Each structure stands twice: as C-alpha cells, then as structure tokens.
Structure 1
Amino acid sequence: MISDVDLRHLRRCVELAAQALAADDEPFGSVLVADDGSVLFEDHNHVASGDHTQHPEFALARWSAQHLTPQERAAATVYTSGEHCPMCAAAHGWVGLGRIVYIASGAQLAAWLTEWGVPAAPVAALPVTAVVPGAVVEGPVLELVNDIRALHHRMHGPSDGSR
C-alpha cells in the first residue's frame, strides 16, 4: 500500500524527472531512502551525454554498493518515476536493494511512446520481477502517472497535434 511518505518521495522523483527534462534529457528521476526515512541519494537521467547506461536507478545501485552495508541496502527503498528497465533491475538485484516503488510502468511508457510514434527502445520493457524474481515492487502509482506522462509527452509527444 502506498503511504503519504511514499507519495512525498515519489513527488520528488517527479521533480527530478522535470529537472532532467529541463536539462534536455529524458525525464526520469529516482530517490534512495533509508529504512529510517532519510534520503540517502537521488539522481535523474544523464543519457543525453550519449551514454544510455546513465539511468538514475543504476546510479542509486552503484552509490549504494559503495556506501551502504548489505543490510542497509536490503532495508532501503528505491522510489522512481518509471519502472526499472532490465539493466537497472539487474543492478538493483545484484547489489541487494530493498523495495521498489515506481510511478509509471515500463509497459505504460512503451505504450505512450508507441502512441506518439517514437521508435521502440533497443531493450524490452520487462517488469522488474521478470529480471529480479524476488523483488518487492509496488506500482504503478495512479495518483502521479499523469504527471509522468505529461513530462514524457513534452519530450516525445506531438507538439502540433499532427501525430
């Protein structure tokens, strides 16, 4: 069940995704939160550099491997604007991070992009649990899906109604 605390962290993910978009990058943002509720690390997409591995979920996994014990990683929660791609899900699983809460699913994003005529990504939009079977995952979070859709529409959607 999504709590008010979860929604607060997810709203921060929306803010980070908007920051990425303002920097001419893809609108994704993520926050790593300790079991005591403190924010440990946050990031947004940096793929505009040409390195398409610069996803915020991957950055959170790398940061946690360098700064947290295995027990701290397992107790942490990753909040993110979009469901982890397979690369990020694998990183999450390998470092042993805990719960994932995402706003929009990979399937939702893929459907939006198809609707807007954007070519398919080179990696399948698999659910996190297809990559990390034991992952504890919650999402999509319907209260915020339209906020994320709007950010992706600003980046990829038709600006003149022609699509």
Structure 2
Amino acid sequence: MLVDGVERFADRNREATTGDATRHPEFEIARWSVTHLTPDERAAATVYTSGEHCPMCAAAHAWVGLGRIVYVASAKQITVWRAGLGGTPSPVAALPISAVAPYLAVEGPVEGLVDEVRVLIERQRPSR
C-alpha cells in the first residue's frame, strides 16, 4: 500500500501456510491501516495487488475507508485459470470489486502484467 508515494505496508497470502482462508493480504492491509493510518491517510492510500480483491477483502477495504485499488488480474480471469487447472471452485462468488463496494476507485486489469499473474497461478498446485 502506498500513501503519498511511500510504501507503508506489504504482505502476501498466508492461506496455505496457516489453513485460514481469511488470511488474504488485502484483508491484512485493511486491519493494519485502521491502527496505523488516519482516516485521511487511508482515503489517500492506493492498494496494489496481483489479483482483484475477493468480496471479503473488497468489503473490508470499503469499511475502513481505504482509497484506490489497482489490480493486475481480475477475479474472473483467475477463476477461469484455476478451473482450467482442475482446481476446486471457490466457496465464494468471484464478484468484481465494484459489485461489492461500488464507491471505491478501482483500476484493472493491468493488461501488460496479466500473463505474469497467470504463470504464478499455473505454478500453484490446484486444490482438490
């Protein structure tokens, strides 16, 4: 997450190592920001992520008042890639951020980087 051009927080998925499906970095950013940023700083923040926020993370982002989201690959793209690898469907619908939090500023997908995220998804072992 950047605030005034300065990286203030970075994280990664912890689902596989903890077994906790709620340990998304986007959710951790929301939690961290409430403790460490003022409401104005949260509103001015930009969150960059490789994949579009899931509904849980989009809601958390909106509830704490974080600013703009920039993502590389859409939830729909990631869902298609994982299905093609034989993965188990997510128990949560792959909704666009705008369907969950319609007032957030959102940019994505970032076409020049989508193939890099697809390769990362393909390297993961599909869950069965």
Aligned residues, how many?
125
* Residues 1:74 and 2:56 aligned together: no
Q: Which residue of 2 aligns with 1:50?
A: 19
Give, in whole Å, the separation in 1 of the partners of 2:114 and 2:78.
10
**Deviating 4+ runs (over 4 angstroms):** none
Identity over aligned residues, as a percent? 60
* Residues 1:59 and 2:31 aligned together: no
Structure 1 counterpart of 2:107, one-letter code: E
What are the within-5 Å matches in structure 2 for residues 66-105 of structure 1?
Answer: 66-105=35-74
Give, in whole Å, the separation in 2 of the partners of 1:76 and 1:156.
33
TM-score by length of 1: 0.75
TM-score by length of 2: 0.95
Q: Equivalent residue of 1:42, what SS?
A: coil
Post-superposition shift, 1:154? 0.6
Structure 2 counterpart of 1:152, one-letter code: I
**Structure 2: runs of 5 or more not aligned:** none
Give, in whole Å, the separation in 2 of the partners of 1:127 and 1:134.
12
Q: Which residue of 1 aligns with 2:103?
A: 134
Post-superposition shift, 1:89? 0.3
Post-superposition shift, 1:116? 1.4
